[in-house]
Amino acid sequence: MPKTKLDENSIAFATIGELSAALRNREISSVELTKLLGRRLEKLGPEYNALAYSLVKRGHKAAKDADFDLKHERFRSPLQGIPYAVKDLIAVADHPTTWGAKPFADQVFDEDATVVRRLASKQAILIGKLSMVELAGGGGYSSAAASLQGPGLNPWNKQYWSGGSSSGSGAAVAAGLVPFALGSETSGSIITPACFCGVSGLRPTYGLVSRHGAMALSWTLDKIGVLARSAEDCGLVLHAIAGGDDDDPGSAQKSFYYAPQYYENLSELKIAYAEIDFAEWPDEPLRPAFANALAVVKSIGVPMLESKLPDFPYGPLITCIIDSEAASIFERFIRTGRVDQLADQKQIDGLKASLNYSAVDYLKAMRVRTQIQAAFRTLFASVDLLVAPARLNLPDRADQPFDETPPKRPDRKGVVSGLVQAANLCGLPAISIPCGFVNGFPIGLQIVGRPFSENRILALAREFQRRTDFHKQHPPAWT
């Protein structure tokens, strides 16, 4: 076996492209890489409450197979031989899948989720399950502690939350424990931890990635996506996991080919944004950094148009839809009282109360959703992408209840207000990329596009990352 020439720090924070090149050039083997990252995941994962379950031993065998193929120059994909981990709502056969919740701590499925099978076919090496907010936050929750592993801690400052509900996925990538992780989003669960942890987080179009084998919270909203070191890496992983699946009734039966070369001419695109989103909507300390981020976007030379979102009550609508579908999915769990074993009282009460939505409420919300989708089709007739801050605030403390005091925001709305909910209601793809630092915490820029326009989103994100190095910065390395 060739001697490792790379040091631990550079490996821990390397991109998929860099690791793939190192594997093919025999600078490191997949077994060595799996050992090194596996050791970090098992040692450092618990320090961030990010590790739900280690699969490092299982990974060693897969790494040996990958090394065999690499040695014989049977190159399968850029992910070949590269370790990764998944949010603990994605099933891995014969190992616990807890959904982050104590009542499901002993749950074991006998089949891998489709995304796990797809990554195995590319010889990516699964080395762990990552912590999450219990039941992906269905019913609402009051603090970071709403998780089987305890509060997700932010690698940039362990006193603060890593975001949710894909808490461990964000923290594990940020801390250099895995180069990429899978997460899921119903409304904000990829964008938020990606933003708070300073990694790139891609939420694909609804139906592009199979959810077969993943916990359902809301059939019409759930998506599986990627958290990684760069937009480029998100594209490479999406390429591997996307595609039709008859086992997922929500599947769009579409493939995704990562083709950055087709979107090089960004000047032909039109970006919608609102100055007010960057200058007045964020908490005050974040505004200068967001102003800089907007200046970088403008410097790319893409035509930019002032815009605003169609006016709908996105928050109550998406809450009604998530709660109604979750109430149906977890009905037995709620009615039998097992729900009382959850960690977060607000979540317990929220799930119980969600049984009280009527069919008329749900269908009304879904009919308004039709109107929202029509309004977004009209908006996207004249623009290609929406750009806004990913989050308007820094993370809450991990050891205290969330501050639920409504923050003071301007009366006038631009794009950012309700964007996460609106885009999820319409099934739109989005990415959050690091775009600055405030008080030692990363902040994120959100790019949203039409359904199935992931290549276009990634093209702009990649250009932003070509001009900045926020995505290359990482918390102090732990060895």
Q: Which residues contact other proteins (rule: CB under 8 A)?
A: 205-207, 220, 250, 252, 313, 316-317, 319-320, 323, 345-346, 349-350, 352-354, 356-358, 361, 363-373, 426-427, 450-452
Nearer to other proteins (CB atom), residue 24 or residue 352:
352
Least distance CB 456 / other proteins (angstroms): 13
State the catalytic residue, choosing from 29, 54, 189, 453. Answer: 189
Active site residue 189: yes
Q: Are 168 and 49 in contact (CB under 8 A)?
A: yes
State the catalytic residue, choosing from 165, 169, 200, 230. Answer: 165
State the catalytic residue, choosing from 30, 77, 87, 184. Answer: 87
DSSP labels, 375-428: HHHHHHHH-SEEEEES-SSPPPBTTSB---SPPP--SS--SSTTHHHHHHHTT-
Least distance CB 356 / other proteins (angstroms): 5
Least distance CB 364 / other proteins (angstroms): 5
Q: Are 419 and 184 in contact (CB under 8 A)?
A: no
Nearer to other proteins (CB atom), residue 201 or residue 427:
427
CA distance 117 to 212: 11
CA distance 412 to 308: 10
DSSP labels, 189-208: TTHHHHHHHT-EEEEPPTTS
Nearer to other proteins (CB atom), residue 27 or residue 349:
349
Nearer to other proteins (CB atom), residue 345 or residue 473:
345
Question: What pairs with residue 389 in β-bridges?
Answer: 445
Query: DSSP alpha helices (H): ranges in 13-164?
Result: 16-24, 30-44, 56-71, 114-121
Nearer to other proteins (CB atom), residue 176 or residue 427:
427
According to DSSP, residue 225 is labeled E
C-alpha to C-alpha distances, 199 to 134, 229, 285, 435, nearest whole angstrom: 22, 6, 21, 10
- Whose structure tokens read 């969600």? 354
Nearer to other proteins (CB atom), residue 235 or residue 451:
451
Length of the chain: 479
Q: What are phi and psi of 381, to 5 degrees?
A: -70, -25
DSSP labels, 359-380: HHHHHHHHHHHHHHHHHHHHHH
Least distance CB 293 / other proteins (angstroms): 28
Q: Which residues does 68 contact at the CB level (< 8 Å), separation at least 6?
A: none
Nearer to other proteins (CB atom), residue 252 or residue 457:
252
Q: How is residue 382 written in tokens?
A: 């004249």
CA distance 339 to 363: 26
CA distance 230 to 437: 16
Strands 223-228 and 180-185: antiparallel
Residues classed as catalytic? 87, 165, 189
